[in-house]
Structure 1
Amino acid sequence: MADLPLRPELAGQEPYGAPQLDVPHRLNVNENPYPPSPGLLAAIGRAAADPGLNRYPDREATALRTDLAAYLGHGLGPENVWAANGSNEVMTHLLQAFGGPGRTVLTFAPSYSMYPEYARNTYTRYLTAPRRPDFTVDADLVRAAVAEHHPDVLLLTSPNNPTGTSVSLDVVRLACEVAPGMVVVDEAYQEFARSGTPSALSLLAEHPRLVVTRTMSKAFAFAGGRLGYLAAAPAVVDACRIVRLPYHLSAVTQAVARVALAHAPELLSQVDALRRERDLLVDWLRDRGLAVADTDANFVLFGRFADRSAVWRGLLERGVLIRETGPDGWLRVSAGTPTEMAAFRTALVQVAEEMALPGWVPEQEGARA
């Protein structure tokens, strides 16, 4: 690209993307491992068979937004919901509308690795403040960061990626009170939160500058469908309608997403199983002497390793793909099926013994403790 008149800020940049490798156990991108049932696939096939492809789709996606509002509850209607091609496009719409040249977005690091790219692509200045050592975000931290940076968009990720950490509703309320601009709570993993973890959806009626974003990729096992959405005041939805591209959601996407929502109980039925696997894995890793972040998501951040790349490669050599992401010394593994989790544990034991990891507690000794 050296001979192309590329934007200066793109020079030397690499496209985003986690490794997509053909290995027996892919536990690196937080997908739901349970595929749709044959009955659901048949319903999806019927919906996609003739969605009127010779005509442009409903550019407002009204029926889909109505279904999404019904799923979310909290008294929301279609006027409170916006949908796009994954939460990536939702976030881009928000920064196109409320960020941009001369404006800033602030979040708390470590957090989702795509956030700075959303900011870059919308000419929004990207700012971060460090999380607490346990990866939490509290009221004092928010208050101090807002006072220092005065962000146009304050982005709170709950549960956070890659740490799995949730933000309390008290902190979200405080953020809405002190932030001068928009407050966006990214709840991509909210369905996996531990019992009693509330959603910021309950605060929307009180705070017109609050936005809650969600996705169907994770809990709905719909990553291939590419459907993200937000809930907010109607004025926020109208702002997104201004910046969206014409007919941004295909007729097929809308039709298939509506089928998925109609089968929500079936698709969400594995969420409890994934929570159980996640919690069992947290306990097992801690029993092995590793540090583990408290998590409300469908993944676990664990460490700390002097050479995390070597651990990652050792797992990959044994057919287990996880993610080398987050703070130095940490790795992230997605919650999977019992078979996948057993394969991960077996591989990690082998790697730990081969590398003689400091502080590693063999399973028999850990079981006696």
Structure 2
Amino acid sequence: MKPQVSLAELPLRPELVGEEPYGAPQLDVPVRLNVNENPYPPSPAIIADMADAVAAAAAQIDRYPDREALGLRADLAGYLGHGLSAANLWAANGSNEVMTHLLGAFAGPGRTVLTFAPTYSMYPEYARNTHSEYVVVPRRDDFTVAADDALAAIAEHQPSVVIITTPNNPTGTTTPLAEIEKILAGTEAIVVVDEAYQEFARHPEQTALTLLPRFGNLVVSRTMSKAFALAGGRVGYLAAAPAIVDACRIVRLPYHLSAQTQALARVALAHATEMLAKVDELRATRDELLLRLPQLGVEVIDSDANFCLFGRFADRHDVWQRLLDRGVLVRETGPAGYLRVSVGTPAEMAQFYQALTDVIEEIR
């Protein structure tokens, strides 16, 4: 083969031909409201504690980190409560790696992953990368998931893994615990309840964690990227029966969480109250979005997350570009005609509202 080749000339797996790398635009603009980040960084005191923890880890950087991350898993169990222990927790490089561990263990060639669209756009890539068949069935018109619909789809497609996202990304809608309980009772498949945005819900205590003692096939997936404002730390985790954790341990790569990552996350958990102090404010800002967007003449989907889906626009990309031209970056995702905006600081929201007002006046 010649020294310089194009991607098209390489023996790429057939299902990867023509694929593009996943990723929301990373643009240097004044207002970035496109990837559902918590816009409030840690306090200077917590940053100093993080720096000390990383320095301590650096003193032993010649040694491998704790490959089981037992200290971090114990801290996560303490944060979640519900009688969980380190044996019930698994942590990885973001919830992305948590999901690939789960699919690597329970899906794969000849097996099916089932979920309900519209939902998180990375799920099909997790399935593709683990050689799993990916099947989606539509949510109801209000973007909810009903147990009867889900169980009918499970009976039809016989998945080994079912993913229910609540609050759902990109719509922000929730699936009631009663519906999740019915689904769990009606299948032997691994049911992953992705609660990445649960801390922002109006009733965060209504979590699938409460069902873990009764269902050995339940996995509750979460992240520290959102409510904990630790997106740069790359820590996701799951809670499940110890046997499911052991299955993830089989497929994980050795030393998949660096010493620095573990140190940062443990400091954040030690300061959980302060790290989560802005959640109530962000929730209130989300509720204000739900009120103000209709006043601007756009439809909005009720959300329990730190973002809102709004539209509908005849040409959503045009609206996205016009907002970007005004220094406001939102996400072009979800059902046709919709855009998604993350909750930001008061100053960021003021700029978003003004930019959207101007754009709507232009396109009318």
Q: Give the TM interval when normalised to the shorter protein.
A: over 0.9
Aligned residues of 1:84 and 1:229 also touching (Cα < 8 A): yes
CA deviations on 1:338-368 (whole Å, 9 max, x unpaired) are 1111110000000000111xxxxxxxxxxxx
What secondary structure sits across from 1:108 in the alignment?
strand
Choose the corresponding residue for 2:29, options 23, 33, 46: 23
**Offset at 1:213?**
0.3
CA deviations on 1:262-315 (whole Å, 9 max, x unpaired) are 011111000001011110011011222322111110000011111101110110
Query: Aligned Cα RMSD in Å?
Result: 0.8
Aligned residues of 2:167 and 2:174 also touching (Cα < 8 A): yes
Aligned residues of 2:296 and 2:357 also touching (Cα < 8 A): no
Query: Structure 2 matches for 1:1-369, cutoff 5 A?
Result: 1-51=7-57, 52-195=60-203, 198-356=206-364
Distance (whole Å) between structure 2 residues aligned to residue 311 and residue 257 of structure 1? 38
Please tell me the residue identity of whatever aligns with 1:272: D
Query: Identity over aligned residues, as a percent?
Result: 67
Distance (whole Å) between structure 2 residues aligned to residue 73 and residue 63 of structure 1? 15
Distance (whole Å) between structure 1 residues aligned to residue 102 and residue 322 of structure 2? 40
**Offset at 1:140?**
2.0
Distance (whole Å) between structure 1 residues aligned to residue 216 and residue 298 of structure 2? 42
**Offset at 1:330?**
0.5
Query: 167-176 vs 184-193, which deviates more?
Result: 167-176
What secondary structure sits across from 1:2 in the alignment?
helix
Distance (whole Å) between structure 1 residues aligned to residue 244 and residue 291 of structure 2? 42
**Offset at 1:142?**
1.2
**Offset at 1:179?**
2.2
**Offset at 1:196?**
6.3
Distance (whole Å) between structure 2 residues aligned to residue 70 and residue 196 of structure 1? 16
Aligned residues of 2:188 and 2:217 also touching (Cα < 8 A): no
Aligned residues of 1:150 and 1:180 also touching (Cα < 8 A): no
The residue aligned with 2:4 is none
Aligned residues of 2:220 and 2:240 also touching (Cα < 8 A): yes
Aligned residues of 1:154 and 1:179 also touching (Cα < 8 A): no
The residue aligned with 1:364 is none
Structure 1 segments, 4+ long, off by >3 Å, are: none
Distance (whole Å) between structure 2 residues aligned to residue 174 and residue 186 of structure 1? 17
Query: 190-199 vs 119-128, which deviates more?
Result: 190-199
What secondary structure sits across from 1:248 in the alignment?
coil
What secondary structure sits across from 1:50 in the alignment?
helix
Please tell me the residue identity of whatever aligns with 1:150: Q
Distance (whole Å) between structure 2 residues aligned to residue 272 and residue 259 of structure 1? 21
Distance (whole Å) between structure 2 residues aligned to residue 311 and residue 33 of structure 1? 23
Aligned residues of 1:151 and 1:179 also touching (Cα < 8 A): no
The residue aligned with 1:367 is none
Please tell me the residue identity of whatever aligns with 2:242: P
**Offset at 1:177?**
1.5
What secondary structure sits across from 1:231 in the alignment?
strand
Distance (whole Å) between structure 2 residues aligned to residue 2 and residue 22 of structure 1? 31
What secondary structure sits across from 1:92 in the alignment?
helix
What secondary structure sits across from 1:176 in the alignment?
helix
What secondary structure sits across from 1:129 in the alignment?
strand
Aligned residues of 1:151 and 1:180 also touching (Cα < 8 A): no
Please tell me the residue identity of whatever aligns with 2:228: F
TM-score normalised by L of structure 2: 0.97
**Offset at 1:127?**
0.3
**Offset at 1:146?**
1.3
- Structure 2 residue ranges without an equivalent (≥5): 1-6
TM-score normalised by L of structure 1: 0.95
